[in-house]
A and B are shown apart, each in its own frame.
Chain A
Amino acid sequence: MSEVAKLPKPQLRGLLTSQIKRNLVFGAVFAFVVTAAYKMNINDKRKIKYAEFYKNYDPQREYEQMKKAGIFQSARPE
């Protein structure tokens, strides 16, 4: 026989198990990354928006404006 480079022996058994193990790792990493990205870009941004809205929110001022506009049935404008 001539000098032929031998291929490494392929995995012959347990293919499904090894595929599942690899997929579990990828799945876990992917889920973690997507969750982290969602939390940072959507949840935290939303919290900041709410905090900004309520920072200088004056319910009494808003109420007087709404009352003057006549939207309330039980609190008619003077």
Chain B
Amino acid sequence: FLHRYLLDGQAIETVWTVIPAIILVAIALPSIRLLYLIDEIHNPALTIKVTGHQWYWSYEYSDFDDIQFDSYMIPSNELSTGMYRLLDVDNRMPVPYNQAIRLMITSDDVLHSWAVPSLGIKMDAVPGRLNQSSLLVNMPGVFYGQCSEICGSGHSFMPIVIEAVGESDFLKWLEL
């Protein structure tokens, strides 16, 4: 039997508690700073409300004439050439690029999560709660995302598509 009478080691236990604690504090300080910076006020030009449902998203642009629409995934058997399976939707969410946008995200039924990885955004859609997030798309294009909180059988079939368009085209779209 090796070390049968080895009962404690105060020195080593102190070292392997204190050193990791110092390392964790060194990681935490910049991390907490960034966390607070994320919530800075940035005077958004536009507020969009996103509501998660089973199993689609709906968007409201209530700053302008109460525009509201649902966004359903295009079923695989209705895809046209060039469309992405399980990612493309019937009504995309247009936003102007290079403009600060406020997103208010909630859910109508169960937990969902609104995530678009290429824009670095993910926010839970919680029923009875309004979660705020900010969005600034610095380049035009089409950005895809998917629901990121298990919400039933259609969880994998409620994608998100954002179109970052020019300001003038966005204003034209609003008037439709």
Q: Contact: B173 with A74, CB < 8 Å?
A: yes
A-chain residues with CB within 8 Å of residue B173 when the two chains form the complex? 74-75
Q: Contact: A74 with B92, CB < 8 Å?
A: yes
Residue in A20, A59, A74 whose Cβ sees the most chain B Cβ within 10 Å: A74
A62 within 8 A of B: yes
A73 within 8 A of B: yes
Interface residues of B in 1-52 (CB under 8 A from A): 12
Given A63-B97, A67-B169, A74:B163 Cβ within 8 A: yes
Given A73-B92, A74-B92, A75-B169, A63:B163 Cβ within 8 A: no
* Residue from the list A59, A72, A73, A75 in contact with B139, Cβ < 8 A: A59
Given A73-B92, A74-B92, A74-B94, A62:B140 Cβ within 8 A: yes
B-chain residues with CB within 8 Å of residue A71 when the two chains form the complex? 141-142
Interface residues on A, range: 10 to 19
Q: How far is the CA of A57 from the CA of B139 in the complex (A)?
A: 9
B-chain residues with CB within 8 Å of residue A73 when the two chains form the complex? 91-92, 94, 163
With both chains docked as a complex, state the minimum distance between the C-beta of B45 and any C-beta of chain A, in angstroms. 16
Please report B residues at the A interface, Cβ cutoff 8 Å: 12, 91-92, 94, 97-98, 138-142, 163, 165-166, 169-170, 172-173
